[in-house]
Structure 1
Amino acid sequence: MKKYQTLLIGSLFLFTTSSHAGFADSIRELRNTIGQLSDTTKEITGVTKEVGALSGNGSEQATSAQYSSGQTLYPKLNNVSLYESASKSAPVIKKLTKSTDLVFTGKTHKSGFIQVTTEYGDGWVESHLIR
């Protein structure tokens, strides 16, 4: 009977040890997977920030890429306002016609205005009204 008990205890010990080893391996694999997920998340966050910086968040970025300094532009329609500053509440210098020559100065404003030079002087126009 003593041999049987020793054999049974030994078997249980080996079984328990191998179970613990398997559990420890599973924990290690889980830690590695979590670490990889964390690294991937950090990479995605970095890429998202880079893409956000490239795309910009206002019309200022789009306007800069659309026109180059010194380029001749024209209003898309008649009665486009030429403002003294980059605001719709600024005084209007002149109402422009479709045939008015506008020369882009290279300055843009985050509110969607671009600065132009005309025969009436320098002023600001809304970029979405210009071609």
Structure 2
Amino acid sequence: MWRELIGELYPEAEFAEPADASAVASVEHKLGLPVPHALSSLLLEVNGVRNDYGDDVVWPVERIVEDNLAMRNEPDYAQLYAPFDLLLFFGDSDMGAQFAYVHTDYGPGIVYWDHDTDQRRLVAAFLRDYLVQCLTEGNSWYR
């Protein structure tokens, strides 16, 4: 399902081999946040998606864990940024922005995080919408 959708949106996309189910399940344990069903199903089908500019639109499981832990545990970040504990980062763009699921009372949404300003802005309610914006609309995040 995800491979076909992404292939239709962006034929040049590069896919990694599917993630192991136990690796996807371990993300919740290691980060203390639920992995939204859409993201876990994508990772089980393709463990990461990269565009031809080198952007990791969706990170592989290993990077999701490593980058989220690094951001939460970096002492300088605690001084520079609001806490990351409720964010599950999973992708980035060439301009340095990163994307994360945030859990709200209404369910998960996807936010754009700007490392220069610490701005966090809701950009999509669903992973499919994020992929459509990311893979077909260019830099719409910066408007």
What TM-score, normalized to structure 2? 0.21
